[in-house]
């Protein structure tokens, strides 16, 4: 099945800083999603982005399907951005959405 | 619009006991997922339903785990007998159909002692 790798595994930011999280996948995808898991464990969908670029407030994401990666940008980070960010991908030939190992983000005030 | 509902939120059982988790998806969502998330890891798909049919259960330990979605709406995941390594958060999710945006419930936290 498809392999999904995220980097970096951990990220510490000062409030107000910008950052980029990366997701690499091993196969062509027809489904790619970014999630934020808050400190209480709730997974919130941020973007459905199998290709192209989307923006939602301070967050934006870009997927370059031909090069098999996706990027999540956090601008002007806030302490509420802390948590774990996951990307999940489904290969064109597969049935299931496979999650990466996540990037743990801590934003310090 | 109500989100994905799960219960119980927390459960502590002894090894070899059984446990069941319940999930009610978002109204109108045909696809329902059960994921297992072990501390420090990403969620792993256990089983995916499309209406009341199984789409993928390749990672479900069928000797001890079972799941059903009899009427194509809510679902139950059962573990019998539980092992220590089953300690995890069991996440239910739903989507309008396979390939769409997935919405997660708050999870059911299981500790096996």
Decide if A71 contacts A20 (C-beta within 8 A).
yes
Task: Kindly determine whether residue A97 and residue B45, on different chains, have CB atoms separated by under 8 Å.
Answer: yes
Per-residue model confidence as pLDDT tens digits over A56-108: 999 999 999 999 999 999 999 999 999 999 999 998 877 789 999 999 999 99
CA separation for the pair B105, A45 (Å, rounded): 11
* B25 contacts chain A (CB < 8 A): no
Find the CB nearest A100 among B42, B55, B102: B42
- Residue-wise pLDDT for B40-89, tens only, equals 999 999 999 999 899 999 999 999 999 999 888 999 999 999 999 999 99
Rounded-to-integer distance, Cα A20 and Cα A60, Å: 10
A41 contacts on B by Cβ (under 8 Å): 89, 106-107, 109
CB-closest option in B48, B89, B100 to A96: B48
User: What band does B97 get if pLDDT is binned at 50, 70 and 90?
Assistant: confident
The confidence band for B1, taking pLDDT boundaries of 50, 70 and 90, is: low
Q: Confirm if B36 and B92 have CB atoms less than 8 A apart.
A: no
Q: Do A95 and B98 touch (CB under 8 A)?
A: yes
Do B101 and A48 make contact, defined as CB atoms within 8 angstroms? yes
Cβ-defined contact of B42 to A99 (cutoff 8 Å): yes
């Amino acid at each position: 099945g498809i392999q999904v790798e995220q980097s970096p595994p951990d990220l510490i930011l000062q409030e107000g800083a910008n950052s980029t999280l990366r997701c690499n996948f091993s196969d062509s995808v027809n489904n790619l999603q970014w999630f934020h898991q808050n400190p209480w464990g709730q997974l919130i969908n941020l973007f459905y982005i199998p290709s192209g670029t989307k923006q939602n407030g301070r967050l934006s994401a870009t997927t370059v399907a031909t090069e098999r990666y996706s990027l999540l940008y956090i601008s002007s980070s806030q302490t509420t951005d802390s948590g774990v960010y996951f990307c999940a991908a489904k290969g064109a030939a597969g049935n299931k959405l496979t999650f990466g190992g996540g990037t743990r983000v801590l934003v310090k005030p | 619009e109500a989100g994905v509902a799960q219960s119980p939120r927390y459960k502590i059982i002894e090894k070899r006991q059984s446990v069941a988790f319940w999930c009610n998806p978002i109204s109108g969502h045909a696809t329902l997922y059960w994921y297992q998330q072990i501390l420090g890891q990403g969620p792993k798909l256990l089983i995916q339903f499309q209406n009341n049919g199984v789409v993928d259960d390749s990672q479900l330990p069928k000797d001890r785990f079972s799941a059903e979605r009899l009427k194509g709406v809510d679902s139950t995941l059962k573990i019998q007998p539980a092992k220590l390594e089953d300690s995890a958060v069991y996440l239910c999710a739903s989507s309008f159909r396979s390939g769409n945006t997935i919405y997660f419930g708050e999870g059911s936290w299981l500790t096996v002692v």
